[in-house]
Structure 1
Amino acid sequence: MNTAVTTCPIQFNVDLPDWLQSCLLSERRATNEVALADNSLICRAFEFAYQLHEGQCRKSGEPYICHPIAVAGLLRDLGGSPAMIAAGFLHDVVEDTDVTPDEIEQRFGVEVRHLVEGVTKLSKFTFSSKTERQAENFRRMFLAMAKDIRVIVVKLADRLHNMRTLEHLADEKRRSIALETREIFAPLANRLGIGRFKWELEDLSFKYLEPEQYRRTQELVAEKRADRQARLNEVTEILRRRLEEVGINCSELSGRPKHLYGIYQKMQRQQKEYHQVYDVSAIRILVETKDECYRALAIVHDEFRPIPGRFKDYIGLPKPNRYQSLHTGVIGSSGHPIEVQIRTLAMHQVAEYGIAAHWKYKETGSTPTLVKPEDEKFTWLRQLLEWQNDLKDAQEYLESVKDNLFEDDVYVFTPKGDVFSLAQGATPVDFAYRIHTEVGNTCTGARVNGRMVTLDTVLKNGDIVEILTQKNGHPSLDWLNFVVCAGARNRIRQWYKRSHRDENICRGRELLEKELGKSSFDSLCKSEPMQAVAQRCNYQSVEDLLAGLGYGEVTLNLVVNRLRDGVKGKQPITTDIEVLPPSTVSQKALRESVPAFRTNKSPIIGVEGLLHHLAGCCHPIPGEPIMGIVTRSSRGISIHRQSCRNLETVDGDRLVPVSWNTATETQRPLTYPIDVQIEALDRVGVLNDILSRLKDDNINVRSAMVKTYPGFPALINLCIDVRDLNQLERTFSQIKKMSDILNIRRLNESERLN
């Protein structure tokens, strides 16, 4: 479409910030090309967004345009380019109006289009669950980040302003957004080194997720503010005088408060009271050169007694987000511990603005270059992109994203001196997979600091690790019990799946063939709709889809539903969609012979007033086609599933057509026992993870038995109580989504007895 906009000056009915008023005024009065180039794009984007959002309001009642203005202002403060600021104004127009990405490109250029598309949610697509929608939004965002890292900076500015105005939403919505912010966006800001965003996002999330603890921490900080400031002033004056004496010029020497969530985290992590946390406030010393950082450190340690174990050199060994500073803890003149941070101005700019410092601040005076996602500092982003195709389950993908976003803080070295950062608790296997997938897959041993160690040894800062490999080496399922890095876990699972690929393809084919029927199944697998289903499920080919189905990465219901959606409006595919079970009884005849629906209090229609019971051989549950058998004993009528093999040997005159009573006033039992068997990778905690999924759906577990054999998957037999077939299928679907699950099925009577 081509949205009409006016070209004459617009009268705005909202208060504009000074920077935007100045921009609009200078653009209209501009007489040279430089001024036009600097302001035209920003002004056109603002006016376009203003007209599109006119009449729209936020939950607070204020005009919606106030939000894009605030986002653009945050990006301007970070030193964003005109294209970034324009994207800040336009970031919601594709999602909330009829404007298309093509029109954005036509009006504002391809650069702005890519930034806007990267932060646009998939609101116009249909997903089977909220989790799947969330996962696909993040997949799309990370792919956009790979092309232009500025996408996430725009998204962070958007999220920060939303968090600042979160009080106008319902409580449940507030908690949901705050939780996503704390688990995803605050760690993202930390990964990118944008400290000022990270701290505020964490504090705002803390405010809505744990309001009582937030208020308590706020009160504790406020109570001690005067005493704390007096101590800091005393220490800063002493250090200022000493630094001047040795000729070190400080561009800044001041105290700064630690953010509330950081204080609360430290109190919880170290099990300390507020008065025991020594770095509630810190003194920051900004000097001119790296050499002066170490000279200033010597002055601090000479004047005040250092606390053992509290010195950290992030200049010599920067954090993964390129944060650099010297941190030391000392005992102040009043006897209280104080943290001191020493860095150069350039380091401070990176600490505050992260990647934005690369284009906001220019040390050489030349035009700043944008940070490229392929830079070494974005190893974590490349890992996330690699997992796009590895992890099909939305829940597992989100968990891996969260795991990978939290900061690595163990540094280990190769024998050649290369340094790698790993998560706390990492082992040689984690290190091997961090080097390369093949190194991990062929790992057979490790040396740490020249000594042979077991593969589950926990690595420490400064360890020199050598990985021993063999060509015929391969991963062990036992490794899943001790690796801590999501990348290592996923690579081990992927190897196992690939090594059993043919078996998984056969299993997936059998499952789908049983559901759709054998007729023309081969031609269906080669059809265009089937290929489209594979791609929508994030698989490259139908064969990959069948392997994923066999392994349990994708559920049968999801594949069948998407296939049926894909052929709507097209030529019907010739398949036996409704397959008769292995029974001599005609299902069609049975359905036709079932009595017409009538309301009564019996859970089963057709046995009113008669003695009856549910058969123990097949355990029928509501939602399944059933058939009654007149027993030769005194137990009356036995109710079986229509697919039960015991029906095959029964004389026709003993069959009683029955059906489940779906009337709302039916007083049937709440739950029915079902025996299931789960085949899973043998690792610590797999049963607990399965039970957690069952608990989420309020399913009671009557009994559980686990059988394990070295080198083979674990067999888990459960007896669970379910309400009906829908709940059982939903439960199977949720368990199949777990990456460790190979298969899940119902057990018949003979299998239960064995």
Structure 2
Amino acid sequence: MNLNDSHSSLESKPADTASVALTAMRSPVASISSASHINKHTSHLDDIDSVRASSANTGVASITALTNRISEYMSASELKLVKEAYRFSDEMHLGQVRKSGEPYISHPIAVAEICAEWKLDVQAIMAALLHDVMEDQDVKKDELIERFGAPVATLVDGLSKLEKIEFQSQIEAQAENFRKMLLAMARDVRVILVKLADRLHNMRTLDFMSAEKKRRISRETMDVYVPIAHRLGLNNIYRELQDLAFSHLYPMRYRTLSKAVKAARGNRREVVNKIMDAVKTALTEAGLKAEVYGREKTLYGIYRKMHDKHLSFSQVLDVYGFRIVVSDFRDSYYALGSLHALYKPMPGKFKDYIAIPKTNGYQSLHTTLIGPYGTPVEFQIRTRDMHHVAESGVAAHWLYKNEEGSLTDLQQRTHAWLQSLLDIQKQTGDSAEFLEHVKIDLFPDSVYVFTPKSKIIALPRGATALDFAYNIHTDIGDQAIATRINHEPVPLRSELKNGDIVEIITSPNSRPTPNWLTYVRTGKARSAIRHYLRTINLNESTELGKQLLAQALVSVNLNPDLPDSLIDKLLNESSAKSLDEIHTDIGIGKRMAALVARHILDLVEDDSPSIPFQQYGDKISNKRDPVIIYGSEGLSVQLAACCLPIPGDGIVGQLKRDQGLVVHTDDCEHAKRLHIKEPDRWIDVNWGEDLNRRFDCRIAVTVTNERGALARIAAEIGESDANISHVNMEDGDANDMTNIHFTIQIEDRTHLARIMRNIKHLNGVSRIVREHG
């Protein structure tokens, strides 16, 4: 996924044109033909619609479709501001074209038209027209403030990627740009509405890109923008983005399914008409005024159902879908009763999203009935207001301002989610981690549970009681010790189910542990736990980072004792407040010691290019001293659970983001696979002297399955001065032998060898091995 190529991958300077292929069947945006560039000296804004084309591109530039649409709900003064924004944007993009050869200005116009379909306000329409001028044409925010006011400039700034500053990796740059956009969205949801319009038009015009860029941009769309559209209830965009991304990710599958659906449509017409007529008659006889529509599945929806449920095409298409729109809330339930009287309902296939709306505000009754010829028929029943929200989501705030009262709940849900982004940001170490947490929270499937006071809480499917605790409040999560679900005591790791009543038991002495990260599901919980662990391990992480940086500086022939002038320059360029902050970042894996050392070397060479090392002392040996492991470093150094290294083993260290240093045995198969993926994150480590703790180790003993066998082995381990922390016995085999697995606490390999030798001599023991996995 490439978050850095969000929209400018489709845009370019004259040397690298980008594409536009406006498809009339998809949107009124298609009414824009080949747009031209405005003459810089045009002074009459009212004549903008008929400006001549530039010499490079013939054709007629027109924002007539846009102005016609926004004039339906904007005043003349607002319309004038939109035209002024158009003029400025056209001037800034003069000479810039897309890969189709069309003037670039056609893209901002198209984005503005999509926003106009939602009846977004004048500031959002202006931002849509101007959304690329800061990034592509180096227009400063101050200039936009002076010309168009602070609100418009802030929206445009939120839509622009960061200036081309140096990042440690391309992934970090992508994540940081995405974080900037999401935080701007949290403050003003119009940012993401314009961004989604921008992404939608780019996806509609992706045909001119290379196959590799199509896949990369489509994958990003599917991973990030589709879930955001769903989370905000923008179902029309959600479905179209899914299908467009699917068509570019899997073009052969898309074409095959498209042909199959067209062929099946004719065969289904008779059944569809029969159901439609029967439903309309039943509703009329019940005295209900309702609109009945056939509901087509999207191609991606068909593909995903076939893939996830291992169904054939005919099995998926055998389910018919209809939507019933009624006038008011009560009629929804009356219509449901009429349908259940007409066809028999399928058990377990009814969902009431009116009483308990989805997290994005969606409300409908869902029911599946057995229709004619025994075919399943799915119905969605909703009011007209619910239908507007279901299709337009949070954008309905602008679309249907007169009905704002009915959208209060949706707005509150959206505000709560956007506020959670700010909460996660405050506790998150860096942009990549922030993006990870947000993507977790974008999963559409939800589970609905209740507090003891009957308040409904929506969480992602798979969430645990600990997620629930953090959802209530960070302090509740940090101090959680137990939970009751449906009045029964259960562990905090227990997964929640729809309808559960959840109560959290807290203690002021309870604190988060690293193990909690293995069973929380929400971004908010993960970010809060990580924030706490980072805070308590600050000193340990700082010391580890200091050691790692010293080693990295030695490897590039620099003295680890840096002069103050060099430290000041490093802090200025790295945006860190102190050298200890850089050490801490290295210790928790946020920064790579090798990259920081390389940066310092560049600063040295810039100061004295002819004799770069002279003013900082002589070069020192290029010998890389290993990091010394004592086993008592705390959470900043962890012994890998996959291989459980012990003193005497050959070891290697992996610097893992936000987990510090993870130590593996040098023959660990898991470590070898990780090394191939991220070779730069591995460093040399050695055991220190005078180790003052015991280390976990796993052994497996094959023994005759007889009374007293376990007791004899356990006694021998105790007599060998070791402790048993865990034991597990398998069922016996046909030869009346069984395997017993022990986790024991020992001093080193010599101690382990003595224990294994003593156990081997016991009666009934046929085999003993050390387990690494």
> Normalising TM by the smaller chain, what interval?
0.7 to 0.9
Deviation string 1:672-724 (CA, Å, 9 cap, x unpaired) is: xxxxxx9865788899xxxxxxxxxxxxxx99999xxxxx9964123599xxx
Shift of 1:292: 0.8
Larger mean Cα displacement after TM superposition, 331-340 or 379-388? 379-388
Contact preservation (8 Å) 1:533, 1:562? no
- Residue 259 (str. 1) matches residue 298 (str. 2): yes
Task: Give, as a single letter, the amino acid of the residue that structure 1 aligns with 2:531.
Answer: Q
* Residue 501 of structure 2: aligned partner: 464
1:140-179 to structure 2, matched below 5 A, reads: 140-179=180-219
* Residue 169 of structure 2: aligned partner: 129
Match of 2:463 among 419, 426, 429: 426
Contact preservation (8 Å) 1:190, 1:198? yes
Shift of 1:506: 2.2
* Residue 446 of structure 1: aligned partner: 483
Contact preservation (8 Å) 1:5, 1:48? no
* Residue 43 of structure 2: aligned partner: 7
Residues 398 and 35 of structure 1: is their aligned pair in 2 closer, same or farther, counting only changes over 3 Å? closer
Secondary structure at the aligned position of 2:216 is classed as helix
Larger mean Cα displacement after TM superposition, 138-147 or 240-249? 240-249
- Residue 43 (str. 1) matches residue 80 (str. 2): no
* Residue 571 of structure 2: aligned partner: 530
Deviation string 1:110-137 (CA, Å, 9 cap, x unpaired) is: 2221111111122533333221111011
* Residue 355 of structure 1: aligned partner: 394
- Residue 322 (str. 1) matches residue 385 (str. 2): no
- Residue 79 (str. 1) matches residue 125 (str. 2): no
* Residue 745 of structure 1: aligned partner: 684
Distance in structure 1 (CA, Å) of the matches to 2:677 and 2:596: 14
Give aligned pairs, total. Answer: 618
Match of 1:332 among 349, 352, 371: 371
Task: Give, as a single letter, the amino acid of the residue that structure 2 aligns with 1:215.
Answer: R
* Residue 233 of structure 1: aligned partner: 273
Distance in structure 1 (CA, Å) of the matches to 2:186 and 2:677: 35
- Residue 345 (str. 1) matches residue 345 (str. 2): no
* Residue 534 of structure 2: aligned partner: 497
Distance in structure 1 (CA, Å) of the matches to 2:82 and 2:311: 50
Residues 643 and 457 of structure 1: is their aligned pair in 2 closer, same or farther, counting only changes over 3 Å? closer
Match of 1:212 among 252, 257, 273: 252
Distance in structure 2 (CA, Å) of the matches to 1:732 and 1:70: 45
Contact preservation (8 Å) 1:195, 1:351? yes
Contact preservation (8 Å) 2:326, 2:382? yes
Deviation string 1:561-617 (CA, Å, 9 cap, x unpaired) is: 556778998999999867865xxxxx5xxxxxxxxxxxxxxxxxxxxxxxxxxxxxx
Task: Give, as a single letter, the amino acid of the residue that structure 1 aligns with 2:186.
Answer: A
Residues 476 and 96 of structure 1: is their aligned pair in 2 closer, same or farther, counting only changes over 3 Å? closer
| Structure 1 unaligned regions, length at least 5 | 28-32, 582-586, 588-624, 626-640, 646-677, 688-701, 707-711, 722-726, 736-743
* Residue 414 of structure 1: aligned partner: 451
Distance in structure 1 (CA, Å) of the matches to 2:462 and 2:74: 54
Task: Give, as a single letter, the amino acid of the residue that structure 2 aligns with 1:455.
Answer: L
* Residue 492 of structure 2: aligned partner: 455
Identity %: 39
Match of 2:521 among 481, 484, 498: 484
Distance in structure 2 (CA, Å) of the matches to 1:683 and 1:510: 20
Deviation string 1:424-465 (CA, Å, 9 cap, x unpaired) is: 222212222222222222211111101111222221100001
Residues 110 and 679 of structure 1: is their aligned pair in 2 closer, same or farther, counting only changes over 3 Å? closer
Larger mean Cα displacement after TM superposition, 71-80 or 496-505? 496-505
Secondary structure at the aligned position of 1:116 is classed as helix
Residues 731 and 458 of structure 1: is their aligned pair in 2 closer, same or farther, counting only changes over 3 Å? closer
- Residue 546 (str. 1) matches residue 583 (str. 2): yes
Contact preservation (8 Å) 1:534, 1:541? no
Distance in structure 1 (CA, Å) of the matches to 2:640 and 2:353: 37
Contact preservation (8 Å) 1:256, 1:283? yes
Distance in structure 2 (CA, Å) of the matches to 1:317 and 1:683: 44
Distance in structure 2 (CA, Å) of the matches to 1:577 and 1:111: 50
Contact preservation (8 Å) 1:681, 1:713? yes
Contact preservation (8 Å) 2:447, 2:497? yes
1:641-720 to structure 2, matched below 5 A, reads: 715-718=663-666
Residues 528 and 439 of structure 1: is their aligned pair in 2 closer, same or farther, counting only changes over 3 Å? farther
Shift of 1:71: 0.7
Contact preservation (8 Å) 1:181, 1:205? yes
Deviation string 1:271-297 (CA, Å, 9 cap, x unpaired) is: 212222268542111111111111111
- Residue 385 (str. 1) matches residue 333 (str. 2): no
* Residue 94 of structure 1: aligned partner: 134
Deviation string 1:462-517 (CA, Å, 9 cap, x unpaired) is: 00011111111122333333323333233333322222222112222344456374
Distance in structure 2 (CA, Å) of the matches to 1:34 and 1:202: 32
Residues 358 and 580 of structure 1: is their aligned pair in 2 closer, same or farther, counting only changes over 3 Å? same
- Residue 398 (str. 1) matches residue 435 (str. 2): yes
Task: Give, as a single letter, the amino acid of the residue that structure 2 aligns with 1:419.
Answer: I
Distance in structure 1 (CA, Å) of the matches to 2:332 and 2:285: 15
Task: Give, as a single letter, the amino acid of the residue that structure 2 aligns with 1:96.
Answer: D
Secondary structure at the aligned position of 1:62 is classed as coil
Distance in structure 1 (CA, Å) of the matches to 2:643 and 2:86: 53
Distance in structure 2 (CA, Å) of the matches to 1:168 and 1:140: 29
Distance in structure 1 (CA, Å) of the matches to 2:102 and 2:613: 56
| Structure 2 unaligned regions, length at least 5 | 1-38, 54-58, 628-634, 645-649, 655-659, 692-747, 751-773
Residues 478 and 94 of structure 1: is their aligned pair in 2 closer, same or farther, counting only changes over 3 Å? closer
Distance in structure 2 (CA, Å) of the matches to 1:519 and 1:682: 30
Distance in structure 2 (CA, Å) of the matches to 1:305 and 1:680: 62
* Residue 65 of structure 2: aligned partner: 19
* Residue 651 of structure 1: aligned partner: none
Distance in structure 2 (CA, Å) of the matches to 1:715 and 1:46: 58
Secondary structure at the aligned position of 2:104 is classed as coil
Pairwise CA RMSD of aligned residues? 4.0
Distance in structure 2 (CA, Å) of the matches to 1:456 and 1:355: 34
Secondary structure at the aligned position of 2:347 is classed as coil
Distance in structure 2 (CA, Å) of the matches to 1:370 and 1:447: 32
Distance in structure 1 (CA, Å) of the matches to 2:193 and 2:271: 37
Residues 523 and 54 of structure 1: is their aligned pair in 2 closer, same or farther, counting only changes over 3 Å? closer
Match of 1:555 among 592, 595, 612: 592
Residues 262 and 369 of structure 1: is their aligned pair in 2 closer, same or farther, counting only changes over 3 Å? closer
Distance in structure 1 (CA, Å) of the matches to 2:614 and 2:423: 36
- Residue 312 (str. 1) matches residue 351 (str. 2): yes
Task: Give, as a single letter, the amino acid of the residue that structure 1 aligns with 2:387.
Answer: H
Secondary structure at the aligned position of 1:466 is classed as strand
Residues 106 and 425 of structure 1: is their aligned pair in 2 closer, same or farther, counting only changes over 3 Å? same
Residues 96 and 323 of structure 1: is their aligned pair in 2 closer, same or farther, counting only changes over 3 Å? same
Secondary structure at the aligned position of 2:503 is classed as strand
TM-score by length of 1: 0.73
Larger mean Cα displacement after TM superposition, 325-334 or 116-125? 116-125
Shift of 1:90: 1.2
Residues 369 and 187 of structure 1: is their aligned pair in 2 closer, same or farther, counting only changes over 3 Å? closer
Shift of 1:382: 2.9
Residues 644 and 567 of structure 1: is their aligned pair in 2 closer, same or farther, counting only changes over 3 Å? closer
Deviation string 1:528-586 (CA, Å, 9 cap, x unpaired) is: 75265244xxxx765444322222222223444556778998999999867865xxxxx
Task: Give, as a single letter, the amino acid of the residue that structure 1 aligns with 2:530.
Answer: R
Task: Give, as a single letter, the amino acid of the residue that structure 2 aligns with 1:716.
Answer: H
Shift of 1:363: 3.4
Residues 642 and 164 of structure 1: is their aligned pair in 2 closer, same or farther, counting only changes over 3 Å? closer
Larger mean Cα displacement after TM superposition, 292-301 or 56-65? 56-65
Distance in structure 1 (CA, Å) of the matches to 2:334 and 2:168: 60
Shift of 1:313: 0.8
* Residue 332 of structure 2: aligned partner: 293
